[in-house]
Protein backbone atom coordinates (compact mmCIF):
# COMPACT_ATOMS: atom_id res chain seq x y z
CA UNK A 1 0.00 0.00 0.00
CA UNK A 2 1.30 3.44 -0.95
CA UNK A 3 1.84 5.98 1.79
CA UNK A 4 1.26 9.70 1.68
CA UNK A 5 1.31 12.66 4.02
CA UNK A 6 -1.60 15.08 4.15
CA UNK A 7 -0.93 18.77 3.61
CA UNK A 8 -2.84 21.86 4.56
CA UNK A 9 -3.75 24.11 1.63
CA UNK A 10 -1.00 26.49 2.77
CA UNK A 11 1.59 23.69 2.82
CA UNK A 12 0.38 22.66 -0.62
CA UNK A 13 1.04 26.15 -1.94
CA UNK A 14 4.50 26.23 -0.38
CA UNK A 15 5.58 22.99 -1.97
CA UNK A 16 3.83 23.20 -5.31
CA UNK A 17 6.33 23.25 -8.18
CA UNK A 18 9.24 23.89 -5.83
CA UNK A 19 12.51 22.54 -7.24
CA UNK A 20 13.99 20.84 -4.20
CA UNK A 21 16.93 19.33 -6.09
CA UNK A 22 18.16 19.81 -9.66
CA UNK A 23 15.37 18.78 -12.04
CA UNK A 24 13.27 17.46 -9.14
CA UNK A 25 10.07 19.12 -8.06
CA UNK A 26 7.62 18.47 -5.29
CA UNK A 27 4.37 17.22 -6.76
CA UNK A 28 1.76 17.93 -4.11
CA UNK A 29 -1.47 16.48 -5.41
CA UNK A 30 -5.16 16.44 -4.70
CA UNK A 31 -6.82 13.21 -3.61
CA UNK A 32 -10.29 12.27 -4.86
CA UNK A 33 -11.74 13.62 -1.62
CA UNK A 34 -10.15 17.00 -2.23
CA UNK A 35 -7.42 16.73 0.38
CA UNK A 36 -3.84 17.66 -0.49
CA UNK A 37 -0.88 15.33 -0.09
CA UNK A 38 2.68 14.50 -1.03
CA UNK A 39 4.15 11.04 -1.33
CA UNK A 40 6.41 9.12 0.99
CA UNK A 41 9.00 8.94 -1.79
CA UNK A 42 9.32 12.71 -2.02
CA UNK A 43 9.63 13.03 1.74
CA UNK A 44 12.38 10.43 1.85
CA UNK A 45 14.15 11.99 -1.13
CA UNK A 46 14.20 15.51 0.27
CA UNK A 47 17.50 16.44 1.91
CA UNK A 48 17.09 20.19 2.35
CA UNK A 49 16.37 22.28 5.42
CA UNK A 50 13.76 24.75 4.19
CA UNK A 51 11.02 22.17 4.20
CA UNK A 52 12.45 19.82 6.80
CA UNK A 53 9.04 19.84 8.50
CA UNK A 54 7.76 17.43 5.87
CA UNK A 55 9.85 14.73 7.56
CA UNK A 56 7.58 15.09 10.61
CA UNK A 57 4.33 14.71 8.72
CA UNK A 58 2.47 11.53 9.67
CA UNK A 59 2.19 9.00 6.87
CA UNK A 60 -1.09 7.36 6.07
CA UNK A 61 -2.00 4.61 3.63
CA UNK A 62 -3.36 5.69 0.29
CA UNK A 63 -5.46 3.62 -2.04
CA UNK A 64 -7.07 4.57 -5.29
CA UNK A 65 -9.43 1.61 -5.11
CA UNK A 66 -13.04 2.68 -5.17
CA UNK A 67 -15.16 1.66 -2.18
CA UNK A 68 -18.62 0.19 -2.69
CA UNK A 69 -20.87 3.23 -2.56
CA UNK A 70 -24.11 1.32 -3.21
CA UNK A 71 -26.82 2.80 -0.99
CA UNK A 72 -28.27 0.16 1.39
CA UNK A 73 -31.93 -0.82 1.31
CA UNK A 74 -34.02 1.52 3.45
CA UNK A 75 -35.72 0.13 6.58
CA UNK A 76 -38.59 2.60 6.91
CA UNK A 77 -37.45 3.49 10.41
CA UNK A 78 -35.16 6.27 11.47
CA UNK A 79 -34.18 8.94 13.97
CA UNK A 80 -35.14 12.58 13.92
CA UNK A 81 -32.55 15.06 12.70
CA UNK A 82 -32.49 18.45 14.51
CA UNK A 83 -34.66 20.91 12.62
CA UNK A 84 -31.99 23.61 12.58
CA UNK A 85 -29.93 21.51 10.16
CA UNK A 86 -32.52 22.19 7.51
CA UNK A 87 -33.17 25.87 8.04
CA UNK A 88 -33.01 27.56 4.64
CA UNK A 89 -30.56 30.18 5.88
CA UNK A 90 -28.12 27.44 6.90
CA UNK A 91 -28.72 25.04 4.03
CA UNK A 92 -26.40 22.51 5.61
CA UNK A 93 -27.65 19.70 3.40
CA UNK A 94 -28.60 20.95 -0.07
CA UNK A 95 -31.27 18.75 -1.64
CA UNK A 96 -31.56 17.03 1.74
CA UNK A 97 -28.45 15.04 0.93
CA UNK A 98 -24.95 14.61 2.29
CA UNK A 99 -22.18 13.56 -0.10
CA UNK A 100 -18.77 12.24 0.85
CA UNK A 101 -16.34 10.97 -1.77
CA UNK A 102 -19.01 9.23 -3.83
CA UNK A 103 -21.20 8.19 -0.90
CA UNK A 104 -24.62 9.80 -0.99
CA UNK A 105 -26.91 9.83 2.03
CA UNK A 106 -30.44 11.16 1.59
CA UNK A 107 -32.46 12.40 4.55
CA UNK A 108 -36.08 11.29 4.67
CA UNK A 109 -38.91 13.77 5.25
CA UNK A 110 -41.61 12.63 7.66
CA UNK A 111 -44.48 14.25 9.52
CA UNK A 112 -42.23 15.51 12.33
CA UNK A 113 -39.53 16.97 10.13
CA UNK A 114 -36.48 15.21 8.68
CA UNK A 115 -35.01 11.86 9.63
CA UNK A 116 -32.17 9.58 8.74
CA UNK A 117 -33.08 5.98 7.95
CA UNK A 118 -31.55 3.37 10.24
CA UNK A 119 -30.08 1.62 7.21
CA UNK A 120 -27.44 4.30 6.97
CA UNK A 121 -26.16 3.42 10.45
CA UNK A 122 -25.51 -0.12 9.23
CA UNK A 123 -23.61 1.14 6.17
CA UNK A 124 -20.10 0.14 7.21
CA UNK A 125 -18.32 1.46 4.12
CA UNK A 126 -19.85 4.90 4.66
CA UNK A 127 -18.73 4.89 8.27
CA UNK A 128 -15.20 3.86 7.30
CA UNK A 129 -15.06 6.68 4.78
CA UNK A 130 -15.98 9.17 7.49
CA UNK A 131 -13.21 7.88 9.73
CA UNK A 132 -10.42 8.08 7.16
CA UNK A 133 -7.72 10.58 8.10
CA UNK A 134 -8.31 12.38 4.81
CA UNK A 135 -11.88 13.06 5.89
CA UNK A 136 -10.80 14.94 9.00
CA UNK A 137 -12.57 18.18 7.99
CA UNK A 138 -15.73 16.13 7.73
CA UNK A 139 -15.25 14.94 11.29
CA UNK A 140 -15.51 18.46 12.59
CA UNK A 141 -18.86 19.00 10.97
CA UNK A 142 -20.82 16.01 9.79
CA UNK A 143 -19.45 13.20 11.91
CA UNK A 144 -20.24 15.05 15.13
CA UNK A 145 -23.86 15.29 14.06
CA UNK A 146 -23.76 11.70 12.85
CA UNK A 147 -22.53 10.46 16.21
CA UNK A 148 -25.37 12.33 17.92
CA UNK A 149 -27.88 10.71 15.62
CA UNK A 150 -26.31 7.32 16.13
CA UNK A 151 -26.63 7.75 19.87
CA UNK A 152 -30.35 8.39 19.36
CA UNK A 153 -30.49 5.09 17.53
CA UNK A 154 -28.72 3.33 20.41
CA UNK A 155 -31.16 4.97 22.82
CA UNK A 156 -34.03 3.48 20.80
CA UNK A 157 -35.39 6.94 19.90
CA UNK A 158 -36.70 5.40 16.72
CA UNK A 159 -39.58 6.64 14.61
CA UNK A 160 -41.55 5.13 11.75
CA UNK A 161 -41.02 6.99 8.50
CA UNK B 1 28.44 -6.09 -31.06
CA UNK B 2 29.97 -4.05 -33.79
CA UNK B 3 32.07 -1.12 -32.71
CA UNK B 4 31.32 1.89 -34.83
CA UNK B 5 34.01 4.33 -33.98
CA UNK B 6 34.15 6.42 -37.05
CA UNK B 7 37.42 7.99 -38.06
CA UNK B 8 37.72 11.08 -40.15
CA UNK B 9 41.25 11.87 -41.25
CA UNK B 10 42.51 9.55 -38.56
CA UNK B 11 40.56 11.33 -35.84
CA UNK B 12 38.06 9.44 -33.69
CA UNK B 13 34.53 10.54 -34.41
CA UNK B 14 31.31 10.21 -32.48
CA UNK B 15 27.80 11.05 -33.40
CA UNK B 16 27.30 14.56 -32.03
CA UNK B 17 24.14 13.68 -30.10
CA UNK B 18 25.99 10.86 -28.36
CA UNK B 19 28.92 13.07 -27.54
CA UNK B 20 26.80 15.90 -26.19
CA UNK B 21 24.59 13.66 -24.10
CA UNK B 22 27.51 11.85 -22.48
CA UNK B 23 29.46 15.04 -21.88
CA UNK B 24 26.40 16.68 -20.35
CA UNK B 25 26.20 13.75 -17.99
CA UNK B 26 29.94 13.85 -17.22
CA UNK B 27 30.61 10.36 -18.54
CA UNK B 28 34.34 10.06 -19.18
CA UNK B 29 35.59 8.12 -22.14
CA UNK B 30 37.69 5.87 -19.94
CA UNK B 31 37.27 3.40 -17.10
CA UNK B 32 37.07 5.90 -14.23
CA UNK B 33 33.29 5.62 -14.18
CA UNK B 34 31.29 2.42 -14.12
CA UNK B 35 27.54 2.37 -14.63
CA UNK B 36 25.30 -0.47 -15.73
CA UNK B 37 28.37 -2.64 -15.19
CA UNK B 38 30.06 -0.83 -18.07
CA UNK B 39 32.96 1.55 -18.11
CA UNK B 40 32.53 5.04 -19.41
CA UNK B 41 34.42 4.03 -22.53
CA UNK B 42 32.04 1.14 -23.12
CA UNK B 43 29.02 3.40 -22.59
CA UNK B 44 30.34 5.79 -25.23
CA UNK B 45 30.55 2.93 -27.68
CA UNK B 46 27.18 1.49 -26.76
CA UNK B 47 25.28 4.76 -26.95
CA UNK B 48 27.03 5.64 -30.19
CA UNK B 49 25.99 2.31 -31.67
CA UNK B 50 22.42 3.06 -30.62
CA UNK B 51 22.47 6.48 -32.23
CA UNK B 52 24.01 5.19 -35.47
CA UNK B 53 21.44 2.40 -35.70
CA UNK B 54 18.54 4.75 -34.97
CA UNK B 55 19.67 7.30 -37.53
CA UNK B 56 20.21 4.60 -40.10
CA UNK B 57 16.77 3.17 -39.41
CA UNK B 58 15.19 6.60 -39.77
CA UNK B 59 17.14 7.33 -42.95
CA UNK B 60 19.01 10.21 -41.37
CA UNK B 61 22.55 11.10 -42.26
CA UNK B 62 25.37 10.39 -39.85
CA UNK B 63 27.91 12.84 -38.59
CA UNK B 64 25.66 15.78 -37.81
CA UNK B 65 22.74 16.46 -35.48
CA UNK B 66 20.00 15.04 -37.63
CA UNK B 67 17.98 13.02 -35.15
CA UNK B 68 16.31 16.15 -33.82
CA UNK B 69 14.64 16.76 -37.18
CA UNK B 70 12.42 13.75 -36.53
CA UNK B 71 12.53 13.21 -32.78
CA UNK B 72 11.54 15.99 -30.38
CA UNK B 73 12.53 14.13 -27.25
CA UNK B 74 14.09 10.81 -26.37
CA UNK B 75 15.05 9.96 -22.82
CA UNK B 76 17.16 6.80 -22.63
CA UNK B 77 17.17 7.02 -18.80
CA UNK B 78 20.74 6.04 -18.07
CA UNK B 79 23.30 6.08 -15.25
CA UNK B 80 20.77 5.87 -12.43
CA UNK B 81 20.89 9.62 -11.94
CA UNK B 82 18.25 12.30 -12.20
CA UNK B 83 20.27 14.08 -14.89
CA UNK B 84 20.61 10.83 -16.80
CA UNK B 85 16.83 10.49 -16.77
CA UNK B 86 15.92 14.02 -17.82
CA UNK B 87 18.53 14.72 -20.50
CA UNK B 88 17.09 14.62 -24.00
CA UNK B 89 19.20 12.47 -26.30
CA UNK B 90 17.64 13.99 -29.41
CA UNK B 91 18.76 17.48 -28.45
CA UNK B 92 20.29 18.25 -25.08
CA UNK B 93 19.43 21.93 -25.47
CA UNK B 94 15.70 21.28 -25.51
CA UNK B 95 13.06 19.62 -23.38
CA UNK B 96 15.12 18.71 -20.36
CA UNK B 97 12.62 16.82 -18.26
CA UNK B 98 11.37 17.68 -14.80
CA UNK B 99 10.84 14.94 -12.26
CA UNK B 100 7.70 15.77 -10.32
CA UNK B 101 6.43 13.94 -7.25
CA UNK B 102 7.55 10.48 -6.20
CA UNK B 103 9.75 8.88 -8.84
CA UNK B 104 12.50 6.34 -8.20
CA UNK B 105 15.41 6.50 -10.60
CA UNK B 106 18.09 3.85 -10.77
CA UNK B 107 20.17 2.19 -13.46
CA UNK B 108 17.25 0.01 -14.49
CA UNK B 109 14.99 2.94 -15.32
CA UNK B 110 12.58 5.38 -13.77
CA UNK B 111 9.50 4.33 -11.90
CA UNK B 112 6.72 6.52 -10.62
CA UNK B 113 4.98 5.68 -7.39
CA UNK B 114 1.58 5.40 -9.07
CA UNK B 115 0.33 8.16 -6.82
CA UNK B 116 1.78 11.47 -7.96
CA UNK B 117 5.13 10.73 -9.64
CA UNK B 118 5.86 11.53 -13.27
CA UNK B 119 8.27 13.26 -15.61
CA UNK B 120 7.19 16.42 -17.35
CA UNK B 121 8.95 16.55 -20.73
CA UNK B 122 8.41 20.30 -21.04
CA UNK B 123 7.68 19.48 -24.68
CA UNK B 124 4.43 20.05 -26.51
CA UNK B 125 3.36 19.52 -30.08
CA UNK B 126 3.02 23.27 -30.38
CA UNK B 127 6.72 23.68 -29.61
CA UNK B 128 7.94 20.60 -31.47
CA UNK B 129 6.23 21.47 -34.76
CA UNK B 130 8.59 24.39 -35.27
CA UNK B 131 11.79 22.38 -35.47
CA UNK B 132 10.79 18.78 -36.29
CA UNK B 133 8.65 17.05 -38.89
CA UNK B 134 5.94 16.50 -36.28
CA UNK B 135 2.47 17.51 -37.39
CA UNK B 136 -1.05 16.59 -36.34
CA UNK B 137 -1.02 13.89 -39.03
CA UNK B 138 2.58 12.78 -38.56
CA UNK B 139 3.38 11.93 -34.99
CA UNK B 140 4.36 8.98 -32.84
CA UNK B 141 4.90 8.02 -29.23
CA UNK B 142 7.06 5.18 -27.94
CA UNK B 143 7.98 3.82 -24.53
CA UNK B 144 9.70 0.72 -23.20
CA UNK B 145 7.98 -0.73 -20.14
CA UNK B 146 9.82 -3.07 -17.82
CA UNK B 147 6.94 -3.77 -15.46
CA UNK B 148 4.18 -6.26 -16.11
CA UNK B 149 0.83 -5.29 -14.67
CA UNK B 150 -2.69 -4.59 -15.80
CA UNK B 151 -4.05 -1.33 -14.50
CA UNK B 152 -5.30 2.10 -15.48
CA UNK B 153 -1.89 3.72 -15.74
CA UNK B 154 -0.89 6.08 -18.51
CA UNK B 155 2.74 5.53 -19.44
CA UNK B 156 3.09 8.55 -21.68
CA UNK B 157 0.45 11.02 -22.71
CA UNK B 158 -1.17 14.39 -23.01
CA UNK B 159 -4.60 15.73 -23.79
CA UNK B 160 -4.99 19.27 -24.97
CA UNK B 161 -8.29 21.03 -25.37
CA UNK B 162 -6.91 24.53 -25.32
CA UNK B 163 -7.08 25.19 -29.03
CA UNK B 164 -10.78 24.42 -29.19
CA UNK B 165 -10.63 20.95 -30.68
CA UNK B 166 -9.13 18.28 -28.50
CA UNK B 167 -6.01 16.41 -29.60
CA UNK B 168 -4.97 13.38 -27.55
CA UNK B 169 -1.74 11.38 -27.51
CA UNK B 170 -1.29 8.51 -25.07
CA UNK B 171 -0.09 4.97 -24.50
CA UNK B 172 -1.47 2.74 -21.74
CA UNK B 173 0.65 -0.36 -22.16
CA UNK B 174 -1.98 -2.57 -20.53
CA UNK B 175 -5.31 -1.83 -18.89
CA UNK B 176 -8.24 -4.22 -18.76
CA UNK B 177 -6.16 -6.72 -20.73
CA UNK B 178 -5.70 -4.24 -23.55
CA UNK B 179 -3.11 -1.98 -25.04
CA UNK B 180 -4.85 1.38 -25.13
CA UNK B 181 -3.75 4.29 -27.26
CA UNK B 182 -4.95 7.69 -28.35
CA UNK B 183 -3.39 9.56 -31.22
CA UNK B 184 -4.99 12.61 -32.69
CA UNK B 185 -8.53 11.86 -31.62
CA UNK B 186 -10.77 13.46 -29.01
CA UNK B 187 -11.29 11.33 -25.96
CA UNK B 188 -11.49 8.01 -27.80
CA UNK B 189 -9.54 5.07 -26.40
CA UNK B 190 -8.49 2.48 -28.96
CA UNK B 191 -8.04 -0.91 -27.30
CA UNK B 192 -6.35 -4.04 -28.57
CA UNK B 193 -5.91 -7.24 -26.57
CA UNK B 194 -2.47 -7.33 -24.99
CA UNK B 195 -1.01 -10.21 -23.00
CA UNK B 196 1.38 -8.16 -20.90
CA UNK B 197 2.81 -4.69 -20.42
CA UNK B 198 6.42 -5.65 -21.03
CA UNK B 199 8.31 -4.32 -24.02
CA UNK B 200 8.58 -1.47 -26.47
CA UNK B 201 5.17 0.00 -27.24
CA UNK B 202 4.55 2.43 -30.06
CA UNK B 203 1.73 4.32 -31.66
CA UNK B 204 2.40 6.04 -34.95
CA UNK B 205 0.26 8.18 -37.24
CA UNK B 206 1.35 8.97 -40.79
CA UNK B 207 -1.96 10.02 -42.29
CA UNK B 208 -5.09 11.90 -41.36
CA UNK B 209 -7.27 8.80 -41.55
CA UNK B 210 -5.55 6.12 -39.54
CA UNK B 211 -2.77 5.24 -37.15
CA UNK B 212 -1.07 2.10 -35.87
CA UNK B 213 -0.42 0.40 -32.57
CA UNK B 214 2.82 -1.56 -32.36
CA UNK B 215 4.66 -3.68 -29.85
CA UNK B 216 8.24 -4.81 -30.26
CA UNK B 217 8.30 -3.23 -33.71
CA UNK B 218 5.38 -5.34 -34.93
CA UNK B 219 1.99 -3.94 -35.85
CA UNK B 220 -0.66 -4.95 -33.34
CA UNK B 221 -3.56 -3.06 -34.89
CA UNK B 222 -4.39 -0.44 -37.46
CA UNK B 223 -6.88 2.07 -36.12
CA UNK B 224 -9.11 3.82 -38.62
CA UNK B 225 -9.71 7.15 -37.00
CA UNK B 226 -9.38 10.67 -38.29
CA UNK B 227 -6.97 13.08 -36.68
CA UNK B 228 -8.14 16.44 -35.48
CA UNK B 229 -5.92 18.32 -37.84
CA UNK B 230 -4.92 21.90 -37.49
CA UNK B 231 -4.58 21.65 -33.74
CA UNK B 232 -1.35 21.47 -31.84
CA UNK B 233 -1.02 20.44 -28.23
CA UNK B 234 0.29 23.24 -26.06
CA UNK B 235 0.15 21.17 -22.90
CA UNK B 236 3.35 19.31 -22.09
CA UNK B 237 3.71 15.64 -22.81
CA UNK B 238 4.09 13.66 -19.59
CA UNK B 239 5.89 10.39 -18.96
CA UNK B 240 4.40 8.11 -16.31
CA UNK B 241 1.01 9.82 -16.21
CA UNK B 242 -1.54 11.58 -18.39
CA UNK B 243 -1.47 15.34 -18.56
CA UNK B 244 -5.18 15.87 -18.95
CA UNK B 245 -5.27 19.43 -20.20
CA UNK B 246 -3.25 20.64 -17.24
CA UNK B 247 -4.50 18.20 -14.63
CA UNK B 248 -2.16 15.22 -14.24
CA UNK B 249 -3.93 11.90 -13.67
CA UNK B 250 -3.63 8.12 -14.15
CA UNK B 251 -0.16 7.83 -12.65
CA UNK B 252 1.89 4.83 -13.71
CA UNK B 253 3.98 2.69 -11.40
CA UNK B 254 5.65 0.92 -14.30
CA UNK B 255 9.39 1.12 -14.74
CA UNK B 256 9.96 3.02 -17.95
CA UNK B 257 12.89 3.77 -20.26
CA UNK B 258 13.22 5.30 -23.73
CA UNK B 259 10.08 7.42 -23.85
CA UNK B 260 10.17 9.00 -27.31
CA UNK B 261 8.08 11.67 -29.00
CA UNK B 262 8.66 11.85 -32.74
CA UNK B 263 7.10 12.36 -36.13
CA UNK B 264 5.16 9.53 -37.76
CA UNK B 265 7.27 6.43 -38.34
CA UNK B 266 6.70 3.68 -40.86
CA UNK B 267 6.43 0.11 -39.63
CA UNK B 268 10.00 -0.49 -40.80
CA UNK B 269 11.25 2.58 -38.96
CA UNK B 270 9.59 1.52 -35.71
CA UNK B 271 11.11 -1.94 -36.11
CA UNK B 272 14.56 -0.51 -36.80
CA UNK B 273 14.53 1.75 -33.75
CA UNK B 274 13.08 -1.05 -31.62
CA UNK B 275 15.92 -3.32 -32.73
CA UNK B 276 18.47 -0.61 -31.97
CA UNK B 277 17.06 -0.02 -28.50
CA UNK B 278 16.73 -3.72 -27.86
CA UNK B 279 20.39 -4.25 -28.72
CA UNK B 280 21.36 -1.34 -26.49
CA UNK B 281 19.29 -2.62 -23.58
CA UNK B 282 20.88 -6.05 -23.93
CA UNK B 283 24.29 -4.36 -23.91
CA UNK B 284 23.32 -2.60 -20.67
CA UNK B 285 22.02 -5.83 -19.22
CA UNK B 286 18.70 -4.35 -18.20
pLDDT classification of B1: cutoffs 50, 70, 90: very low
Give CA–CA dist B3/B49, Å, rounded.
7
Over its C-alpha atoms, chain B yields an Rg (Å, rounded) of 18
Q: Give tens-digit pLDDT for B212-223.
A: 999 999 999 999
Going from the C-alpha of A127 to that of each of A67, A73, A123, A147, B136, the distances in angstroms are 12, 16, 7, 10, 49
Return the beta strands (E) in B83-175 as ranges. Answer: 98-100, 103-106, 109-112, 118-120, 139-145, 156-160, 167-175
Contact flag B99-A25 (C-beta cutoff 8 Å): yes
Distance, CA of B105 to CA of B82 (rounded, Å): 7
**What confidence score (pLDDT) does residue A156 get?**
93
Q: Residue A101: pLDDT band by 50, 70, 90 thresholds? A: confident
Nearest to B140 by CA among B13, B279, B259, B224: B259
Q: Is the ipTM of this complex over 0.85?
A: yes
- Using alpha carbons, select from A30, A64, A127 the residue that is nearest to residue B253: A64
The pLDDT of residue B187:
80
Predicted TM-score of the model (pTM): 0.83
Task: Report CB contact under 8 Å: A27, B83.
Answer: no
Average pLDDT score, chain A: 89
Strands B38-39 and B71-74: unpaired
Q: Does A25 touch chain B (CB under 8 A)?
A: yes
End-to-end C-alpha distance for chain B, whole angstroms: 16
**Partners of residue B104 in chain A, C-beta under 8 Å:** 41
Number of A–B residue contacts, CB under 8 Å: 61
Average pLDDT, chain B: 94
Measured between CA atoms, how close is A38 to chain B, in angstroms?
7
- Across the range A33-37, mean pLDDT stands at 82
A40 touches chain B (CB under 8 A): yes
Amino acid sequence: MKKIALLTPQQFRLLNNFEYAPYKYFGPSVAPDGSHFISEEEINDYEGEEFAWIKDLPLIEYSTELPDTTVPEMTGYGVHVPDECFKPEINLFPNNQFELNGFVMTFTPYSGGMAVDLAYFQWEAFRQEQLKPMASPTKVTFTTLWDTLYQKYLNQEIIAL
Amino acid sequence: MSRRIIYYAGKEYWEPETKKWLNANSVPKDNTLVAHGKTGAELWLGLNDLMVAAKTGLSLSLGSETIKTRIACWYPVLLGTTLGAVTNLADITKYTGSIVGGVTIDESGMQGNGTNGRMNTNCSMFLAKDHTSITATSTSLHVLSKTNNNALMCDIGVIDNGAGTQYDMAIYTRNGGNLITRLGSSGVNNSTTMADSLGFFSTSRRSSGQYKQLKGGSVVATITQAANTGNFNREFLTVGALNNDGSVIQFSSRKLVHPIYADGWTDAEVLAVYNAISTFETFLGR
